[in-house]
Amino acid sequence: MVQQQTSDPALLDRAFAALADETRRGVLTRLGSGAATITELAAPSGMTLTGIRKHVDVLEAAGLVTTEKVGRARQVSLGTERLDDAMAWITFYQRLWERRLDGLDAYFTLTKGTES
């Protein structure tokens, strides 16, 4: 029996939802090189500051970034969320998926009358 990881469903919902957008994934990638202001994050995407700020809010709610006022700018850094639960869930799913294939293999082996 494959054991499912126990984790807070709402946290997992927020983490996966935060990752379900290319711009937000781009922001996380950019922050991997160091903190950036909202203006710096907006520049490569061609988005408005308001647009980027909304994406940053979604990432912050998921714990994936933290923000801090520095003078008149808002500085954004990678947060404390390591996505361990998201990783664990996908690992769990892949085990289910492979077990299902093992089941099919066993079935085909059986119907061919051979043993392995």
Binding site residues, a copy of itself, CB under 8 A: 2, 4, 9, 12-17, 19-22, 25, 28-29, 31-32, 34, 78, 82-83, 86-87, 89-94, 96-97, 99-100, 103
> What are the Cα distances from residue 67, in Å, to 10, 61, 108, 113, 116?
22, 11, 55, 63, 57
Closer residue to a copy of itself in complex, CB, 98/109 = 98
Closer residue to a copy of itself in complex, CB, 1/114 = 1
Shortest reach from residue 97's CB to a copy of itself, in Å? 6
Closer residue to a copy of itself in complex, CB, 97/108 = 97
Shortest reach from residue 56's CB to a copy of itself, in Å? 16
Among residues 62, 63, 65, the alpha carbon closest in space to that of 78 is found at 65
- 79 within 8 A of 60, measured Cβ to Cβ: yes
Sign for the CA dihedral angle at 61, 66, 69, 73 comes to negative
